[in-house]
Structure 1
Amino acid sequence: MKEILQKTLPYDVLAPRPLPGIQPLNMTEWLQRDEAFDGQMARRDSLIATKPETVLAMSEEARPAAEELLDAVLAAAYPEAAARVERPDGVTVGIDRSQPMRTLGRLVQEDFCILQKQGDEHVLTAAVLCFPASWTLEEKFGRPLVSIHEPVASYDADVARRVQRLFDGVQVGRPLWRFNALWYADAELHQPRSIHNRRRVPVPQDAGFLRSEKQSIVRLPVTQAVVFSIHTYVIARADAPRLAAH
């Protein structure tokens, strides 16, 4: 079985920042390829093939932004690509521009959410979400940013306003990022959960795995859409004794 877990995190989750915890990101560090690439990509391929209605969504208004995002990811991760790419795990992926979100989901470990400004808010108009952390694309698609974050207890009105300002203000070529960290009972990457069925958060002593997301916010230069990308790390508790003690 290909490994889906990482052994370490590329940042210190014991140095949290007040919400929303945003910091500048070097664009060269936007997309990450780590030791779990082969296993995570195999899981993504399987989900996209068997559950496309669960992990993929795109409105027609988002198509130009999705195509622009596909070009940006290809330029960053596979600069020599033409009609197809060969991933580091040896899998060949055809570049199907008629299905940009599906293609994106098979190229890199990151999930992608495209948000576009409608009125005063950014609305989720396209996504490939293979590894949701206790939310569902079906419930969030087509909804504004504030509604997407409804289940997060610490995401109050003040934080919501600050996050909306961040999405308004993020500049082309000057992306931002943050991280979270939550304990989970199992290592499953695909963790959809309805807002009507909230997860019981285990204490570290009862949980086997630490799940952390590197979340990046990137402005696309042509369509001006905002991309929210998610790189998922899952670390066994045995590999994170320092983290488990907190």
Structure 2
Amino acid sequence: MGNKFDDLEKPSFTWHWRSLEDFKNTSWFTLGNYSNVILIVFFLALAFNQIRRKNNEGKRIGYEKRYLKSPEFPEVEEQPEFDWKTTEPLQLRPFKPKYHLTMAESDDSALEALPPSDLLLMDKNYADRITYRRKIISEEGEHVVAVSDDHRIRPAVVELYHFLMGTYLPLRFPPMFKLHEAFYEEGQTFMLENLVTKALFAAKPSPRTTTKTLLETLGRTVDEEFLFLLREDEEESPDNKDKDYPTESNAKYVLQAYVCVCPSGFDPREKLGKRLASIHDPVPGYPTKIEASMDRFFSRLEVGKYVKRANWSITTNPNLYSAGKGTNHAHEGDDITEMKEIDVENTFLRCERQTLHRLPKSKAIVFAFKTYMYPIKEIKDEGKGEELAEAIDGLKEGNVPQMHFYKRGVVWGEAVKRYLRS
């Protein structure tokens, strides 16, 4: 029995032993194959990861090339889905029962803080306005675009130009403006494409491009007027280079450059090189009411602080460009004839959305404004006819009664009020 069992068990033991040997041999061979597969997978994963990282880096670089960096300016909030064609114009109604001329409430509405991203506004009138602006710029020359010979003004214009054309517009309104990288003999540069008009302008101005040309380009690109003011007799010194704004409360500011396609009742060419006080010389009450406070405000305006306000007047013509005397303002000695009735189709509430800020490098102050024309019928249909009629009377009841004459209320006032109350 024992031998029989031994005979039976021996082959079984031998079989297990041989199977173990075969298993060991097979495992080493398989392990080698597995190692090769793992190495291949590892290197493939590494390669794919490098490709993905390069693609992401390329996308990031491409994304960043959508705009030029302007770290000195506040960040711009993007509007990737902005549709200018469906955006209604801003509805300004700044008239009040009584008109008071003060620094806090100069020409009708108080100064307000302005989010830097809202520096410029676009709406469905953009294409028509740009066409109009191009026409006026080509026809009126220095009456709408001019620059002084002050050596400090070019850096100021270049500074704003670079920010608006290279940073602000492609970031704030990407459906309307697109930045392109280009290479010329001089090297790399960037061009801004206006997707609405198909115009193409340099986003980084060449040293050979004149300051006046830069201003004209701004005027042909955005529906906004820009007036650059520099501190009078400001000397460049190491003590002033790191200051965000001048400290002297009595500093005087002078208009040194402008693109102003839609002036209302004044010729910008006559204002170039003049102080604020001289610029506002025709405005009743300016010397006694706000000249000193205006000078202080300009001197103390800090870099990074943006403010806005609005004003209003009534015009009996549809012209955005109204530079001549007797258009929107009246002056002593003017031939005044009271209107018996108005032409409703050509009578408008004309408002300006005005902004003010200081450029971070040049420290120039930029006064800008966008003009809105609202048909008088629109105001009446809104149910604000009586409110506007009271504001017309209020021009004579505030702290500067002469404002009623200055705004030509003596010409259109009674006729407009009759229509609004009819």
TM-score range, shorter chain: 0.7 to 0.9
Inter-partner Cα distance in structure 2 for 1:38 and 1:53: 24
- Greater share of residues in helix: 2
Inter-partner Cα distance in structure 1 for 2:318 and 2:337: 14
139-148 or 16-25, which moves further after superposition? 16-25
CA deviation string 1:63-114 (max 9, x = no partner): 1100001012222113443544333533314238322211111111111000
Superposed displacement of residue 155, structure 1: 2.3
Superposed displacement of residue 48, structure 1: 1.6
CA deviation string 1:183-220 (max 9, x = no partner): 0001110000249x9536989x7371011001110100
80-89 or 215-224, which moves further after superposition? 80-89
54-63 or 225-234, which moves further after superposition? 54-63
* Structure 2 partner of 1:53: 142
Superposed displacement of residue 169, structure 1: 1.5
- Structure 2 residue runs of 5 or longer lacking an equivalent are 1-86, 172-177, 181-189, 234-250, 331-335, 389-422
- Greater share of residues in strand: 1
- Residues 201 and 180 of structure 1: CA distance in aligned 2, closer, same or farther (over 3 Å): farther
Secondary structure of the corresponding residue to residue 124 of structure 2? coil
Aligned residues with identical type, % of pairs: 25
Q: Could you tell me which of 132, 155, 166 is aligned with 1:43?
A: 132
* Structure 1 partner of 2:232: 118
Superposed displacement of residue 168, structure 1: 1.1
Inter-partner Cα distance in structure 2 for 1:202 and 1:233: 25
* Structure 2 partner of 1:85: 192
- Residues 243 and 111 of structure 1: CA distance in aligned 2, closer, same or farther (over 3 Å): farther
How many correspondences in the alignment?
A: 240
Larger Rg: 2
Inter-partner Cα distance in structure 1 for 2:296 and 2:370: 23
* Structure 2 partner of 1:210: 349
Contact 1:184/1:202 (<8 A) preserved: no
Inter-partner Cα distance in structure 2 for 1:238 and 1:170: 39
* Structure 2 partner of 1:187: 318
180-189 or 81-90, which moves further after superposition? 81-90
Superposed displacement of residue 149, structure 1: 0.9
Superposed displacement of residue 167, structure 1: 1.1
* Alignment TM-score, normalising by the size of structure 2: 0.52
Inter-partner Cα distance in structure 2 for 1:51 and 1:134: 15
* Alignment TM-score, normalising by the size of structure 1: 0.87
Contact 1:183/1:209 (<8 A) preserved: yes
* Structure 2 partner of 1:3: none
- Structure 1 residue runs of 5 or longer lacking an equivalent are 1-5
- Residues 128 and 29 of structure 1: CA distance in aligned 2, closer, same or farther (over 3 Å): same
Kindly report which structure 2 residues correspond to 1:1-246, keeping only aligned pairs within 5 A, or say none. 9-14=90-95, 18-19=105-106, 21-60=110-149, 61=151, 62-74=153-165, 75-79=167-171, 80-82=178-180, 83-95=190-202, 97=205, 98=209, 99-119=213-233, 120-194=251-325, 198-199=329-330, 206=342, 208-241=347-380, 242-245=383-386, 246=388
79-88 or 182-191, which moves further after superposition? 79-88
Contact 1:7/1:235 (<8 A) preserved: no
Superposed displacement of residue 126, structure 1: 0.4
Inter-partner Cα distance in structure 2 for 1:180 and 1:202: 23
Inter-partner Cα distance in structure 2 for 1:221 and 1:127: 19
CA deviation string 1:110-147 (max 9, x = no partner): 11000000143100000001000111111101101111
Superposed displacement of residue 57, structure 1: 0.6
- Residues 160 and 93 of structure 1: CA distance in aligned 2, closer, same or farther (over 3 Å): farther
Superposed displacement of residue 172, structure 1: 1.4
Inter-partner Cα distance in structure 2 for 1:235 and 1:201: 24
What amino acid does structure 1 have at the position aligned with 2:260?
Answer: L
- Residues 123 and 25 of structure 1: CA distance in aligned 2, closer, same or farther (over 3 Å): same
Higher relative contact order (CA 8 A, sep 6+): 1
What amino acid does structure 2 have at the position aligned with 1:110?
Answer: E
Inter-partner Cα distance in structure 2 for 1:219 and 1:37: 26
Secondary structure of the corresponding residue to residue 221 of structure 2? coil
